Chain A
Amino acid sequence: MSTATLPPITPLTKKDFQTDQEVRWCPGCGDYAILSAVQSVFPELGIKRENFVIVSGIGCSSRFPYYMNTFGFHTIHGRAPAVATGIKAIRPDLEVWVATGDGDALSIGGNHTIHMLRRNVGIKVLLFNNKIYGLTKGQYSPTSEFNKKTKSTPFGSVDRPFNPVSLAIGAEATFVARSVDVFQSHLKETLRYAAAHKGSAFVEILQNCNIFNDGAWFSLTERDARSEHVIQLEHGKPLVFGKNRDKGIRRKPDGDIEVVPLGNGISESDLVVHDAHHPRPSYAFLLSHMEHRPGFPTPLGVFRAWDDLPRYEDVMNQQIKDVIAKRGSGDLNKLLHAGDTWEVK
């Protein structure tokens, strides 16, 4: 076969996505693991390096673009989703990822986060949730638990926290998932799912800040505890958890859910079968809320992946194409001379 005209395709590797900049996160920070996972997954996606854009706001997580050898834009606090929306509107072909944190995305930038999600702009959002303000050295965040004692709340915080997954589903995000910094293979798998989603993809990554909030997620990550406290969401599979896979989530007649022990006449066939592709968000919301209830586990994995909604940037650009198809391309001289005109001789 003579196909010598095609240039050889060199597959990208993890190294292609690393920059020469010294990484300046604290030693032991969970962000290193997230960076490594993203650098591992990007070469698998079959997307040219120059077509990746990483946009961030302000915070520890927002240093992310400097360490990715792609196009990168470190913007201002909370505004990354809006900047990214402008990029996507003009260049829908680009692969735009936002790196953000619990303060950046849910406090100062909460408005942009929910509006980006309800518009279904084709942006992937990685929310690094460490339940603390790290870069400003240790104040409570909008995801910190009630009564959190920090530098700014010596007698305990009086705020009720946001659940980022609930918030995203409430905004009717079309893809919502949760993973953990230290679960590398789960994290990579989750990133692959997010990358495959066309619309807005929101991924909460539970991340440890070993300086200001060490161990915030230990109940989910420590080997002894995690199987009792974590439930893995897998599409089409029943909701089972526990060290011996001996507990499950069952629907109650009133539509609510309950934790039931397996055995004694209760089998996996009685349990809720996870349906990530359900078009309506109410089921995913119910799942997202269970971790706040005594005896319930915290779900990890893909809560919702419903990709039937067109992307905002595609609708925007299609509208322009439709108008041009109908009216023809604009003629500037005609535009300037439009309306009632008169001639002075």
Chain B
Amino acid sequence: MSTVIETPLSRHKPEKIDQAVIRFAGDSGDGMQITGSQFTNTVALYGNDIATFPDFPAEIRAPAGTLPGVSGYQLHFASSDVFTPGDSVDVLIAMNPAALKVNVGDLKANGILIVNSDSFKENDLRKAQMTSNPLEDHSLDKYRLFSVELERLTRVALEHLGLDAKSMDRCKNFFALGMCYWLYNRSMDSTVRWIGDKFKNKPLLVEANKLAMKAGYSYCEATEAFQISYEIPPAQLAPGMYRNLSGNQALALGFVTASQKSGLRLFQGSYPITPASDILHELSQYKDFGVMTFQAEDEIAAITSAIGAAYAGALALTTTSGPGMALKTEALGLAVAVEIPLVICDIQRGGPSTGLPTKTEQADLLQALFGRNSEAPIPIVAPATPSDCFWAALEASRIAVKYMVPVIVLSDGYLANGAEPWRIPNASEIPEFPVHFATEANSPNGYLPYKRDPQTLARPWAVPGTPGLEHRIGGLEKQDVTGNINYEPLNHENMVRIRAAKVAAIAQDIPDAVPVGDAEGDLLIIAWGSTHGAITAALKAQRVEGRKIGHVHLRHLNPLPSNLGDVIKRYKQVLVPELNMGQLLWVLRAKYLVDAIGLNKIQGRPFKQAELEQKIEELLG
């Protein structure tokens, strides 16, 4: 049978392996994020399970070739479940000395190291603060080093196109990508399609990038440079349709879905901020779903416009990161006081202040819980993985409109930019949560804006334009039921307690905490957010003979599941790993009087599996 194969296949018989971790590293202008995400897409489409870790500097273009300008993209892909992007890497592609210096420490001994030898001239080495050339001084002897003249070879491949030298050099990342496709025996087809789409108005660039990639592939084929290539079979994922999804994309899809399922227009008020801006970029594309995106003049207008939209009957959303959360604080209090539905996404990053804009952290938990004047409780929902952001968005929206409260979604930079395969749900299987606006007076004396639903304690939602329901609301303390301004001492205490009780009662409407692993025993790990993958991997490795370990990953941080205190009592020790100084730890110790232990990392990076395993070993001996 003759089969037309668009890309040449290796004549080597590839060696079958289970998993690999690959990291592309270069200057922030070298296109490493594109290279990494293209490789990711290809292996995901093939059916591998994946976890990614894009790691880039806050500077758009730090001085070329310097250490602060290094941008990296790490991918873990496997034929079985993948929980983390990997502690160390099997293959490192370093486009210059700075990228080599920053990343080589994570390369396994005997790992494959591909470097662009054209960028190891004296000047390049000086910019990376290197005194000798590592390609010559034997400092890389413990790795399988492949020095490739990426620039020269790319220029040779493209010389007939008539491009200038700079444009040709810009294609060298695709040469490297082509080499990696050869190394892992993967088809270039999906990237070929992507290039065609990306540069559709620049046919010359389509040609150049395709040629560079194919040249990289052919180079490996012709020179037998690696002498070996690998094959990682597809993972055995649950049956269904899949796509590759990042956390911010997932949030955007989740809110569009929430809008459709609630029957409310989606309004997003937002001010651009790293690492949350992609949610605005995504949602602004979905105008065919009636989505209204408003790029406000500042963070405060972003949330207050959303409050206005909610008041007018929209499913209202504002998206930001820590510094923006700080600015929104007063408006959050207003949303609590006027009891209006609103979803606030905080994509956490390293702080305080501007901190580490592109690096991940979980240190806004206490800000989300308490960062407002006076008693202003707000429910908090935390996604655990990139694709879980979809479900977190739906859950936050459901709570907001059912209880007439603002709800905070606490994601982080790692979830926002990281990607994983997502089993796509059928839209019709996602439950609806229709909203009913008040349409008529709820008492013989007319409309009472704070007359509550006895079950949920939610007040009615009467939107402007509804005849006969004219009423006034505001940030001043009001009398329950009537909503009239009221400064009486006992009324104030009553209102504070009602607002608290309303949020506390949501605990009856969320699932109980069910530990993964052992349901009782030696150690309970309680965690939240993006640490899920690393903890899951560590737990799998550490649940050996004689050790009973359970893991509760909290989806709801306020209110906490009502059985959490009972679950805690079933274990001898409690470990709380967090990318902060111990914020959930502090809450759990205060609420349950448990002598829980923290594992805390504040480096702008996610946990490594080994760090968690080491702590578990230490506790269980």
Contact = CB atoms under 8 A, between A and B. Distances in A.
Interface of A: 19, 21, 48-51, 53, 55-56, 65-66, 69-77, 79, 82-91, 93-94, 111-112, 115, 316-317, 319-320, 323-324, 327-330, 332-333, 335-345
Interface string B186-217: 00001000000000000000000000000000
18 contacts: A56-B474, A69-B470, A71-B470, A73-B311, A76-B334, A79-B300, A82-B300, A83-B308, A86-B312, A86-B316, A89-B305, A94-B464, A94-B465, A115-B301, A316-B292, A317-B292, A330-B288, A330-B289
Contacts of A115: 296-297, 301
B312 A50 contact: no
A332 B260 contact: yes
A71 B471 contact: yes
Given A50-B467, A86-B269, A328-B288, A344 B472 contact: no
A87 B313 CA distance: 9
Contacts of A21: 472, 484-485
A341 B422 CA distance: 10
Given A323-B288, A336-B424, A341 B473 contact: no
Interface stretch (B41-49, B99-107, B504-512, B517-525): B41-49
A86 B300 contact: no
A123 to B, nearest CB: 10
Contacts of A345: 239
B331 A87 contact: no
B464 A112 contact: no
Contacts of B257: 332, 336
B427 interface: yes
B435 interface: no
Given A69-B470, A72-B472, A344-B239, 13 more contacts: A71-B465, A73-B311, A73-B472, A85-B301, A112-B301, A115-B296, A320-B290, A323-B287, A332-B256, A335-B289, A337-B241, A338-B243, A344-B234
Contacts of A83: 304-305, 307-308, 311
A126 B484 CA distance: 24
B474 A75 contact: yes
A48 B239 CA distance: 56
A72 B469 CA distance: 11
Given A86-B308, A111-B297, A336-B424, A76 B475 contact: yes
Nearest to A329: B288
Contact of A53 (B291, B294, B331, B464): B464
Given A51-B464, A333-B427, A75 B288 contact: no
Nearest to B244: A340
B278 to A, nearest CB: 15
A340 B45 contact: yes
Contact of A71 (B239, B423, B464): B464
A43 to B, nearest CB: 14
Contacts of A330: 256, 286, 288-290
B60 interface: no
Interface string B464-489: 11111111111110000000110000
B587 interface: no
Contacts of A338: 243
Contacts of B128: none
A323 B291 CA distance: 11
Contact of A87 (B288, B292, B309): B309
Contacts of A74: 472-476
Contact of B305 (A53, A82, A324): A82
Interface in B43-79: 44-47
Given A90-B314, A335-B256, A76 B304 contact: yes
Given A82-B308, A91-B465, A340 B301 contact: no
B242 interface: yes
Interface in B129-172: none
Contacts of B304: 75-76, 79, 82-83, 86, 112
B454 interface: no
Nearest to B287: A323
Interface in B414-440: 423-428
Nearest to A56: B474
Contacts of B238: 344
A339 B260 CA distance: 20
Interface string B225-245: 000000000100111111110
Given A86-B294, A89-B267, A111-B298, A340 B243 contact: yes
Question: Top 5 nearest A-B pairs by Cβ distance?
Answer: A86-B308, A74-B474, A330-B289, A86-B305, A72-B472
A55 B308 contact: yes
A324 B289 CA distance: 8
A93 B306 CA distance: 18
B330 interface: yes
Contacts of B312: 86-87, 90-91, 94
A172 B467 CA distance: 35
A85 B305 contact: yes
Given A82-B300, A333-B426, A342-B45, A75 B307 contact: yes
A64 to B, nearest CB: 10
A335 B260 CA distance: 12
Contacts of B287: 319-320, 323-324
A73 B463 CA distance: 11
Contacts of A329: 288-289
Q: What is the interface residue range for chain B against chain A?
A: 35 or more
A83 B308 CA distance: 4
B424 A341 contact: yes
Nearest to A80: B304
B556 interface: no
Nearest to A19: B472
B330 A76 contact: yes
A270 to B, nearest CB: 44
Contact of B331 (A79, A88, A327): A79
A56 B472 CA distance: 11
Contacts of B307: 75, 83, 86
B253 interface: yes
B237 A87 contact: no
B469 to A, nearest CB: 7
Contacts of B41: 340
B495 to A, nearest CB: 16
B264 to A, nearest CB: 10
Contacts of A76: 304, 330-331, 333-334, 475
B23 interface: no
A79 B45 CA distance: 48
A96 to B, nearest CB: 8
Interface string B321-337: 00000000011011000
B555 interface: no
B335 to A, nearest CB: 10
Given A86-B269, A330-B286, A343-B241, A70 B253 contact: no
A333 B470 CA distance: 39
B342 to A, nearest CB: 11
A112 B464 CA distance: 22
Contact of A343 (B190, B240, B464): B240
Nearest to A62: B474
Nearest to A326: B288
Contacts of B308: 55, 73, 82-90
B265 interface: yes
Nearest to A332: B427
Nearest to B242: A342
A216 to B, nearest CB: 27
B368 to A, nearest CB: 19
Nearest to B471: A71
A102 to B, nearest CB: 19
Interface string B452-463: 000000000001
A327 B288 contact: yes
Nearest to A74: B474
Contacts of A317: 292
A65 B239 contact: no
Given A324-B287, A332-B257, A86 B464 contact: no
